[in-house]
Structure 1
Amino acid sequence: MISYLSDMDGVLIKEGEMIPGADKFIQTLYNNDIEFMVLTNNSMSTPRDLAARLRNTGLNIPPERIWTSAKATATFLSTQDKEGTAFVVGESGLTTAMHEDGWILSDNNAEFVVLGETRTYSFEAITTAINLIRGGARFIATNPDVTGPAPQGVLPATGAVAALITAATNRQPYYVGKPNPVMMRS
């Protein structure tokens, strides 16, 4: 059986526009009953939100065919502990994935600090993350991407903020998203 894993940003879409030929590629997969998943290091949005975004560009990809670094991270953490607490720095895509997998989100004595991407990194949240890690919480990041695309050039992404936290804690995160094979296996 042939199956495809495809990246989303930069492969199917770029800055909200479909990359020419992406619709034909996806339609060919459907026409030939070829299984596929779209992978993304985007941890900000839920698969449902991303499916709507893709639909707006002309690509019909249902949420169950979208695997985000947020979903991969929540799944990975569930293999470490069946239930537990995590302090999450990120947006709804990450917090939703964590809740769906049974995690309790807390800023007090969390077992894990989970860093994802957000357009509104807060100094207060970063400080909390640093102190929790220094106190023994395990440091997990959804992906190692240092920058992400933006109309004005690039934006700092998860990897850049992880570097800041690493500098303050002397602890490297475990990165779950691409290119880690954990994301593809999950």
Structure 2
Amino acid sequence: MVDMTEHRPVDTWLTDMDGVLVHEEDAIPGASDFIEALKASGKRFLVLTNNSIFTPRDLRARLLASGIDVPEEAIWTSALATAQFLADQRPGGTAYVVGEAGVLTALHDVGYVMTDRNPDYVVLGETRTYSFESITRAIRLIDKGARFIATNPDPSGPSPAGLLPATGSVAALISTATGRQPYYIGKPNPLMMRSALNRLDAHSETTIMVGDRMDTDIISGLEAGLRSVLVLTGSTSRAQIEHFPYRPSRVVDSVADLVRLVAHEPGGTE
């Protein structure tokens, strides 16, 4: 653990989902209590995920089935962050999307038109049904000048049967074919954190990020100026922390260890 001598208040919490609140469809012990403590405290919070397959409504239903009651408006995905970024960059633009409902709905909601005729962007999201045809079309559109955006750089994701190729792996395939690298929106890009802070009208100095991965959650929180808490219920073990040149503000076994801090200690990680 890194001792902290500052005593800044904590007004806002950001927390990762997979590995922090749930494993697949199973709630991590203490996750529901943590969310309920956040709601009872009146503090603003968002659950963040690089998953761009699902809409916030879908993810709320998934979490609720696991016994965790997160309001739909408290869920922030890489798909939503991507849509916000594109709306800021080129309002009312066009995109060819390789992805599912999460990114398609987010782009529609900001006024984007989906097309494969000279789109402004090719947007690569996550899907369980990548097709050779859609990837080939994306390659050809990028080769003709479409800008290349990817919702997140995760190379693989979990499934009950083992690892699945994810957005980063398919992006590497497209990059190899086109010689063009995508701009990744999701973690570890601190843009994901900044967009979440903007959604809450929050400030980095009074916000804590909770995550299970040093190479995405903790680094993006650090680069966005947030204090961070690493939980050991996901991808990073305590021994692996020493392999990184940066440290979280605090290390805990699980979010169960944060319930009392949320409920009773306004200083959070202090």
TM range (shorter): over 0.9
1:29-68 matched pairs, under 5 angstroms = 29-68=38-77
**TM-fit CA distance, 1:116:** 0.2
Distance in 1 of aligned mates of 2:105 and 2:35? 27
Q: Does 1:118 align with 2:133?
A: no
**TM-fit CA distance, 1:31:** 1.7
Query: Which of 4, 13, 24 is residue 22 of structure 2 equivalent to?
Result: 13
Match of 2:11 in 1: 2
Structure 2 gap ranges (5+) = 1-9, 196-270
**TM-fit CA distance, 1:10:** 1.0
**TM-fit CA distance, 1:141:** 0.1
Match of 2:154 in 1: 145
Aligned residue identity for 2:110: D
Write out the 4+ residue segments of structure 1 that deviate beyond 4 Å after TM superposition: none
**Computing the radius of gyration over CA atoms, which structure comes out larger, 1 or 2?**
2
Q: Does 1:105 align with 2:114?
A: yes
Q: Kindly, what percent of the aligned residue pairs are identical?
A: 62
> What's the C-alpha RMSD, in Å, of the aligned pairs?
0.7
Matched residue of 1:177: which SS?
A: coil
Aligned residue identity for 1:181: P
Match of 2:259 in 1: none
Aligned residue identity for 2:41: N
Aligned residue identity for 1:41: N
1:149-164 matched pairs, under 5 angstroms = 149-164=158-173
Structure 1 gap ranges (5+) = none
Q: TM-score, normalised by structure 2?
A: 0.68
* Alignment size in residue pairs: 186
Aligned residue identity for 2:52: S
Q: Does 1:22 align with 2:26?
A: no
Match of 1:79 in 2: 88
Matched residue of 1:150: which SS?
A: coil
Matched residue of 1:153: which SS?
A: coil
Aligned residue identity for 2:194: R
**TM-fit CA distance, 1:30:** 1.4
Q: TM-score, normalised by structure 1?
A: 0.98
| Higher RCO, 1 vs 2 (CA within 8 Å, ≥6 residues apart) | 2
Aligned residue identity for 1:176: I
Aligned residue identity for 2:91: K
**TM-fit CA distance, 1:153:** 1.5
